[in-house]
């Protein structure tokens, strides 16, 4: 189960809506080994695409150095789907390289009247996708 604060939930959703119609992407870091998302890190979608996201390689290198310096890890890796449901695509699954992370998908299809808003979380390990419950709390 993913437990996330309302404030972080709102930041992820706001980023997804702000970047629509392109996919938004980012990370929520937390203390290594804690499974507690704490620090919101919105990233630039280098692909600038409504159907694909890609972290900028320079930004990603900077992020991982920062995570190491702060003894953090990516607890949540998030991105949005702009015209489809919030479920990992084959591409999303193939790029999922953090087996301990929660992969959050936000569908902004409702922005265009194409579907309902969705905020869902998945574990993706060795190509296996498992949806998990999302619990939103005021504070930890």
Would you list the domain boundaries of the chain?
2-137
DSSP β-bridge partners for residue 72: 31
- What is the rounded distance in angstroms from the CA atom of residue 19 to the CA atom of residue 50? 9
What's domain 2-137's superfamily in CATH?
Answer: Cytidine Deaminase, domain 2 (3.40.140.10)
pLDDT tens for residues 86-140? 999 999 999 999 999 999 999 988 766 556 779 999 999 999 999 999 999 999 9
pLDDT tens for residues 22-56? 999 999 999 999 999 999 999 999 999 999 999 99
Spatial contact of 103 and 132, defined as CB atoms under 8 Å apart: no
**pTM (2 d.p.):** 0.94
* Nearest CA-CA partner of 54 in 77, 83, 86, 20: 77
Torsional sign, CA 42, 58, 53, 71: negative
Strands 134-137 and 2-5: parallel
């Amino acid at each position: 189960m993913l437990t996330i604060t309302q404030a972080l939930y709102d930041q992820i959703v706001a980023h997804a809506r702000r970047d629509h119609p392109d996919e938004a992407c980012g990370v929520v870091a937390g203390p290594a080994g804690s499974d507690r998302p704490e620090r919101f890190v919105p990233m630039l979608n280098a692909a600038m695409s409504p159907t694909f996201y890609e972290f900028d390689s320079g930004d990603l290198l900077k992020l991982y150095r920062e995570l190491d310096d702060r003894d953090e890890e990516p607890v949540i890796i998030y991105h949005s789907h702009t015209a489809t449901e919030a479920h990992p695509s084959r591409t999303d699954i193939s790029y999922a390289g953090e087996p301990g992370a929660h992969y959050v998908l936000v569908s902004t299809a409702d922005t265009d009247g194409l579907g309902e808003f969705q905020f869902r979380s998945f574990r993706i390990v060795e190509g296996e996708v498992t949806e998990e419950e999302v619990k939103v709390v005021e504070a930890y």
